[in-house]
Structure 1
Amino acid sequence: MTIPKKASLFAMLIMIMLVAAACGDKADNTTTTEEPAAKETTTGTNSETANTEETENTEPASEESKETDNSQDVELGTTEKGSYTNDYFGVSLKFPEAWEFQDAAGMNELTSASSEAIAGDDETKKKQIELSQTKTLNLLMASKYPLDGGQVGPSAMAIAEKVSLLQGIRTGKDYLEATKKFMVDSQFPYDYKEFTTETIGGKEMDLMQITMDAGDGSTITQEYYSTIIEGYAFNFIFTYMDDKTKAEIDTIKKSVQFK
């Protein structure tokens, strides 16, 4: 399905909105209390373990950080043709071997390039996005068509963002509510359905479904799934346009397995 260039751009931008949203209005309140997850970086592809060496800190860690700071064990997982696995989050899934996929470096380039378009001249949004990006692990991006083309098709994405009780993020629903607020405040032309829960791969996840007019009489639908794992909001984002592409996404969802 070929859609207007503007709608195509929105479809790509919406895929990464979740990485900018959870901190939201709480960004200023957490910058002085949490170590930025930018230390969770990788020098190669997402098949390597993230380098999480911490800087020295002479002050004793808070009880909350003792409970949730498992960053030294975090890994970005392994993406291969047709599959993704991540032992830290205990998840695996399969996608069509013919699909395009991005490693962590490719996803980082996409998020960086899109941040300016999302924030525009809004300095507050720029700060929110920059803070969130330092705390976000880009894990998987698999799509039927290249992201730099004018053709938008079904896609599957996985990301994880370090969260804190200080942000009020205790459940996947909390994270999605912060995401929705960011999107509404950004005045993007999305329609939102009521939050629900769904079991995927044996794990219950909170779900936010949004739709967008593609501009040619068709509709782009995205499903945002979120749950809290080891102090991270772990998220899937699935995109489809019609019954045929929804069936492709449903097949991917059925392949998800949590340990």
Structure 2
Amino acid sequence: MKKTLFILMLFVSIVTFAAAKDAPSAAPTDFSIGEWNGNVYTNDFLGISYKLPDGWTKLSDEEIAALMNLSLEMLNDNQKALADLAKLTVVYYMLAKNPATGENISVFTEKVHLDVTAIYYLENLKTQLSTITAINYKIGEFTKETVGGREYDVLTVTAEASGRTLTQKYYCYKLGKYFLSIIASSMNGEKAAANLVKAFD
């Protein structure tokens, strides 16, 4: 439990560097929050499919809505709810974790209004992480990795706090006016974190 809370707390504090607020641009017509069919999550808008590994659990719609400070009705699959949701700057789609190890995977998008690259986006993240003094970060170089048949720009970060070490891999892909991000978190090193994204098809 302590490992899980530690990782999830870091996830919330690190990732949410843009507040979920209304944006003026129109919602894309194909916007979708995706759906779970058994242990498989698919989202045609994002172009991803994820199979929940054995022993893992997924966050419920209620938990995801709470993470974004939204009502559960906002995650309903109707046109008005989707249109309102698509106007947010940051949207979380799927979060899953291994209760036994604390490892977790998260998927979110951030809407941008400038024509910038995924590397620029990750550079911004890198800069913000470097300003945090409460946690000792070791920030790696940018790499490219393929997840589910798509090439992502990747930033690997190691964080140390309270005697624990966490590795997070930030996978970023430019999707129109959005940046699609997948974050893989593990306390068992970079190789273990990289293995987590093998569940994406």
Q: Is the pair's TM-score, using the shorter chain for normalization, greater than 0.5?
A: yes
Q: 2:200 aligned with 1:256, yes or no?
A: yes
Q: Which runs of 5+ in 2 are unaligned?
A: 70-86
Contact 2:68 2:92 in 1 (8 A): no
- Report the alpha carbon displacement of residue 19 of structure 1 after superposing the two structures with TM: 3.2
Measured at CA, do residues 252 and 12 of structure 1 come closer, stay the same or move farther in structure 2, by a change above 3 Å? closer
Q: 2:51 aligned with 1:94, yes or no?
A: yes
Contact 2:7 2:103 in 1 (8 A): no
Tell me how large the CA RMSD over aligned residues is: 3.1
CA distance in 1 between counterparts of 2:6 and 2:130 reads 14
Matches within 5 A, 1:6-85: 9-16=5-12, 17-21=14-18, 34-35=23-24, 71-85=28-42
SS at match of 2:141: coil
CA distance in 2 between counterparts of 1:174 and 1:22 reads 19
CA distance in 1 between counterparts of 2:121 and 2:178 reads 10
**1:164-219 C-alpha deviation (Å, 9 max, x unpaired):** 21xxx522211111222223334341221112111222211111111122534x42
CA distance in 2 between counterparts of 1:197 and 1:250 reads 12
CA distance in 1 between counterparts of 2:157 and 2:9 reads 14
SS at match of 2:133: coil
Q: Choose between structure 1 and 2: higher helix proportion.
A: 1
**1:54-107 C-alpha deviation (Å, 9 max, x unpaired):** xxxxxxxxxxx6xxx552321010134432110111111212142121134312
TM-score (norm 2): 0.75
Matches within 5 A, 1:124-139: 134-139=88-93
SS at match of 2:55: coil
Q: Choose between structure 1 and 2: higher strand proportion.
A: 2
Which structure is larger by alpha-carbon Rg, 1 or 2? 1
- Report the alpha carbon displacement of residue 10 of structure 1 after superposing the two structures with TM: 4.8
Q: 2:187 aligned with 1:238, yes or no?
A: no
CA distance in 2 between counterparts of 1:107 and 1:212 reads 24
**Aligned residue pairs: how many?**
183
- Report the alpha carbon displacement of residue 22 of structure 1 after superposing the two structures with TM: 9.1
Contact 2:172 2:182 in 1 (8 A): yes
Q: Which runs of 5+ in 1 are unaligned?
A: 36-64, 113-132, 146-150
* Counterpart position of 2:103: 154
SS at match of 1:181: helix
Matches within 5 A, 1:138-149: 138-145=92-99
Measured at CA, do residues 12 and 20 of structure 1 come closer, stay the same or move farther in structure 2, by a change above 3 Å? same
Amino acid at match of 2:144: T
TM-score (norm 1): 0.60
